[in-house]
Amino acid sequence: MLFNSTIFLQFFAAFLLLFFLCRKSLAARNYLVLGASCLFYAWWDYRFLALLMVTGCVDFAVGLGMVSSRTKRRRRGFLCLSLVVDLSILGFFKYFNFFVDSFAALLAPLHLNLATLEILLPVGISFYTFQSLSYVVDVYRGQAEPTRSLVQYLAYISFFPQLVAGPIERCRDLLPQFQRTLVVTGAGMREGLWLILWGLFKKVVVADNLAPMVELVFDHPSPGGPAVLLGAVAFALQIYGDFSGYSDVARGLARVLGFNLSVNFRLPYFAKDIREFWQRWHVTLSSWLRDYLYISLGGNRRGELRTYVNLLVTMLLGGLWHGAAWNFVLWGGWHGVGLMVHRWWRGYGSERFRLPGWLAWFLTMAFVLCGWLLFRARSWDHIQLLFCSLGSWTVLPWAAEFVMRLLMFFLPLGLIEWWQRRTGNDFVVLAAPGWVRCGVQSLLLLSLVLFWQKKSVPFIYFQF
Amino acid sequence: MKSHAYEVTAVDVGRLVLEVLAPCFGIALLLHAAVFLQLLPDPWPALDLERTVITHQAEASRTDHGANVVFVGDSSCLMDLSGTVLEQAAGDDLEYLNLGTFSYLGFGGFTTILARCVEQNRESLQMVVVLVHPQMLRNSDPAAEYLVFLSDYYAVADHMGAPSFYSRLESMLGLHIVRGRLLGRLPQVLPGAYGREYGFNLNLDRHMTRNLGSATDPNRYVAGSGQGTAEYRLAASLEPLCQGMKAVLPEGIKLAVALAPIPESMAPPEYTLRRDALLGRWADWMHADLVLTNLPAVMPDSLFATNTHLNEEGARRFTELMGRWLGELLRGEPATGPEKRAR
Q: What is the pLDDT of residue B343?
A: 46
Residue B338's pLDDT band, with cuts at 50, 70 and 90, is: very low
pLDDT digits (tens, 9 = 90+) for A272-308: 999 999 999 999 999 999 999 999 998 888 888 899 9
Last residue of one domain, picked from the residues A123, A151, A181: A181
Q: What is the pLDDT of residue A116?
A: 67
Helix (H) or strand (E) holding B6: strand B4-7
Assess contact for A225 and A390: CB atoms under 8 A: yes
Residue B230's pLDDT band, with cuts at 50, 70 and 90, is: low
Assess contact for B79 and B309: CB atoms under 8 A: yes
Catalytic member of A322, A335, A342, A382: A322
Find the range with the poorest average confidence among A212-226, A245-259, B211-225: B211-225
DSSP string, A310-343: HHHHHHHHHHHHH-SSHHHHHHHHHHHHHHHHHH
Helix (H) or strand (E) holding A182: strand A182-185
Q: How many CA atoms lie within 13 A of A215 on its CB side?
A: 16
Rounded to an integer, what distance in angstroms lies between the CA atom of residue B336 and that of residue B246?
28
Do A237 and A378 lie in one domain? The reply is: yes
pLDDT, average across residues A90-119: 76
**Whether pLDDT at A423 is above 70:** yes
**Whether pLDDT at B140 is above 80:** no
Do A245 and A274 lie in one domain? The reply is: yes
Do A357 and A248 lie in one domain? The reply is: yes
What 3-state class would DSSP assign to B281? helix
Output the CA–CA distances (angstroms, integers) from residue A335 to A185, A320, A331, A437, B98, in the order listed: 41, 12, 6, 38, 54
pLDDT digits (tens, 9 = 90+) for B148-191: 999 999 998 888 877 888 888 888 999 999 999 999 899 999 98
* Interchain proximity A193–B16, CB inside 8 Å: yes
Rounded to an integer, what distance in angstroms lies between the CA atom of residue A404 and that of residue B40?
21
The conformational region for residue A455 under phi > 0 = left, psi -120 to 50 = alpha, else beta, is beta
Nearest in space to B337 (alpha carbons), one of B308, B317, B309, B311: B317
Q: What is the pLDDT of residue A281?
A: 95
**Whether pLDDT at A454 is above 90:** no
Q: What is the pLDDT of residue A221?
A: 87
Q: Phi and psi at residue B259, in whole multiples of 5°?
A: -115, 140
pLDDT, average across residues B59-67: 88
- The reply to whether A368 falls in a domain is yes
Do A236 and A330 lie in one domain? The reply is: yes
How many beta carbons lie within 10 A of that of residue A238, not counting itself? 27
Q: What is the pLDDT of residue B265?
A: 85
Q: What is the pLDDT of residue B339?
A: 46
Rounded to an integer, what distance in angstroms lies between the CA atom of residue B287 and that of residue B284?
5
Residue B81's pLDDT band, with cuts at 50, 70 and 90, is: very high
**Chain B contact for A450, CB < 8 A?**
yes
Return the amino acid letter for A17: L
**Whether pLDDT at A402 is above 60:** yes
DSSP state of B132: E
Task: Note which residues in 15-54 of chain A have CB less than 8 A from chain B.
Answer: 19, 22-26, 28-29
- The reply to whether A458 falls in a domain is no
By residue count, chain B amounts to 343
Rounded to an integer, what distance in angstroms lies between the CA atom of residue A405 and that of residue A230?
11
- The reply to whether A243 falls in a domain is yes
Do A243 and A300 lie in one domain? The reply is: yes
The distance of B48 to chain A (nearest Cα, Å) reads 12
DSSP state of B310: B
Last residue of one domain, picked from the residues A181, A202, A231: A181
pLDDT, average across residues B7-29: 91
pLDDT, average across residues A53-77: 91
- The reply to whether A210 falls in a domain is yes
- The reply to whether A277 falls in a domain is yes
DSSP state of A396: P
Rounded to an integer, what distance in angstroms lies between the CA atom of residue A335 and that of residue A223?
25
- The reply to whether A14 falls in a domain is no
Q: What is the pLDDT of residue B342?
A: 47
Rounded to an integer, what distance in angstroms lies between the CA atom of residue B75 and that of residue B308?
8
Q: How many CA atoms lie within 13 A of A413 on its CB side?
A: 29
Overall domain count for chain A: 2
DSSP state of A185: E
Rounded to an integer, what distance in angstroms lies between the CA atom of residue B309 and that of residue B74?
10
Q: What is the pLDDT of residue B337?
A: 43
* Interchain proximity A401–B200, CB inside 8 Å: yes
**Whether pLDDT at B211 is above 80:** yes
Do A254 and A283 lie in one domain? The reply is: yes
Q: How many CA atoms lie within 13 A of B251 on its CB side?
A: 0
pLDDT, average across residues A332-343: 94
As separate numbers, helices (DSSP H) first and strands (DSSP E) second, chain A gives 21, 1
Q: What is the pLDDT of residue A114?
A: 67
Helix (H) or strand (E) holding B69: strand B69-73
* Interchain proximity A220–B186, CB inside 8 Å: no
What is the CA A120 to chain-centroid distance, rounded? Answer: 20
What 3-state class would DSSP assign to B45? coil
How much of chain B, in percent, has pLDDT values that exceed 90? 41
- The reply to whether A82 falls in a domain is yes
Rounded to an integer, what distance in angstroms lies between the CA atom of residue A73 and that of residue A75?
5
Helix, strand, coil percent values for chain A (each to nearest 5): 75, 0, 25
Least CB-CB distance to A445: which of B20, B191, B202?
B20
**Chain B contact for A215, CB < 8 A?**
yes
Rounded to an integer, what distance in angstroms lies between the CA atom of residue A146 and that of residue A65?
10
pLDDT, average across residues B269-287: 89
The distance of B98 to chain A (nearest Cα, Å) reads 24
Domain that holds residue A58: 24-181
Do A223 and A366 lie in one domain? The reply is: yes
Helix (H) or strand (E) holding B257: strand B254-259
Q: What is the pLDDT of residue A414?
A: 95
Q: Which residue of B has its CA nearest to A257?
A: B4
Residue B128's pLDDT band, with cuts at 50, 70 and 90, is: very high
Task: Note which residues in 243-262 of chain A have CB less than 8 A from chain B.
Answer: 257-258
**Whether pLDDT at B69 is above 50:** yes
Nearest in space to B290 (alpha carbons), one of B299, B280, B298: B280
Q: Phi and psi at residue A222, in whole multiples of 5°?
A: -150, 80
Q: Phi and psi at residue B72, in whole multiples of 5°?
A: -130, 145
Q: Is the peptide bond before A268 cis (omega within 30 degrees of 0)?
A: no
- N-terminal to C-terminal alpha carbon distance within chain A: 16
Do A53 and A167 lie in one domain? The reply is: yes
Q: What is the pLDDT of residue B336?
A: 46
Query: Any alpha helices (H) in chain B, and if so which ranges?
Result: 10-36, 49-61, 75-80, 83-90, 106-121, 144-154, 165-172, 175-177, 192-198, 201-210, 239-247, 271-286, 312-330
Find the range with the poorest average confidence among A196-205, A250-259, A362-371, B74-83: B74-83
The conformational region for residue B186 under phi > 0 = left, psi -120 to 50 = alpha, else beta, is beta
Residue B35's pLDDT band, with cuts at 50, 70 and 90, is: very high
Nearest in space to A271 (alpha carbons), one of A417, A374, A387: A417
Do A137 and A243 lie in one domain? The reply is: no
* Interchain proximity B195–A193, CB inside 8 Å: no
Q: Phi and psi at residue A24, in whole multiples of 5°?
A: -95, -10
Q: Which residue of B has its CA nearest to A183?
A: B5
Q: Number of A:B CB contacts under 8 A? A: 123
* Interchain proximity B4–A441, CB inside 8 Å: no
pLDDT digits (tens, 9 = 90+) for A4-50: 888 999 999 999 999 999 999 999 999 999 999 999 999 988 888 99
Task: Show me where the domains of chain B are located.
Answer: 49-149+192-342
How much of chain A, in percent, has pLDDT values that exceed 70? 96
A-interface mutation test, from B1, B2, B3, B170, most A Cβ less than 10 A away: B3
Nearest in space to A398 (alpha carbons), one of B216, B50, B187: B187
- N-terminal to C-terminal alpha carbon distance within chain B: 93
Rounded to an integer, what distance in angstroms lies between the CA atom of residue A3 and that of residue A17?
18
DSSP state of A451: H
Task: Note which residues in 165-194 of chain B have CB less than 8 A from chain A.
Answer: 166, 169-170, 173, 175, 178-179, 183, 186-189, 191
**Whether pLDDT at B333 is above 60:** no
Query: Any alpha helices (H) in B98-254, and if so which ranges?
Result: 106-121, 144-154, 165-172, 175-177, 192-198, 201-210, 239-247
**Chain A contact for B286, CB < 8 A?**
no
Q: What is the pLDDT of residue A440?
A: 95
Please tell me which residue, A349 or A400, carries the higher pLDDT value. A400
pLDDT digits (tens, 9 = 90+) for A129-180: 999 999 999 999 989 889 999 999 999 999 999 998 879 999 999 999 999 9
* Interchain proximity B189–A216, CB inside 8 Å: yes
* Interchain proximity B8–A219, CB inside 8 Å: no
Secondary structure string (H, E, C) spanning A86-104: HHHHHHHHHHHHHHHHHHH
pLDDT, average across residues A313-328: 91
Q: What is the mean pLDDT of chain B?
A: 86
Do A151 and A267 lie in one domain? The reply is: no
By residue count, chain A amounts to 464
Rounded to an integer, what distance in angstroms lies between the CA atom of residue A239 and that of residue A202?
10
Look at strands B290-291 and B341-342 and give their pairing: antiparallel
Return the amino acid letter for B25: F
Least CB-CB distance to A181: which of B4, B19, B202?
B4
Q: What is the pLDDT of residue B340?
A: 47
pLDDT, average across residues A84-109: 83
What 3-state class would DSSP assign to B65? coil
Q: What is the pLDDT of residue B220?
A: 87
Rg (CA), chain B: 24
Q: Is A382 a catalytic residue?
A: no
**Whether pLDDT at B13 is above 60:** yes
Would you say domain B49-149+192-342 falls under CATH 3.40.50? yes
pLDDT, average across residues A355-379: 93
Assess contact for B300 and B261: CB atoms under 8 A: no
Q: Cα torsion for A171, A172, A178, A184, to the nearest 10°?
A: -120
pLDDT, average across residues A329-345: 93
Assess contact for B221 and B193: CB atoms under 8 A: no
Do A164 and A69 lie in one domain? The reply is: yes
Do A174 and A215 lie in one domain? The reply is: no
Return the amino acid letter for A243: F
Last residue of one domain, picked from the residues A121, A155, A181: A181
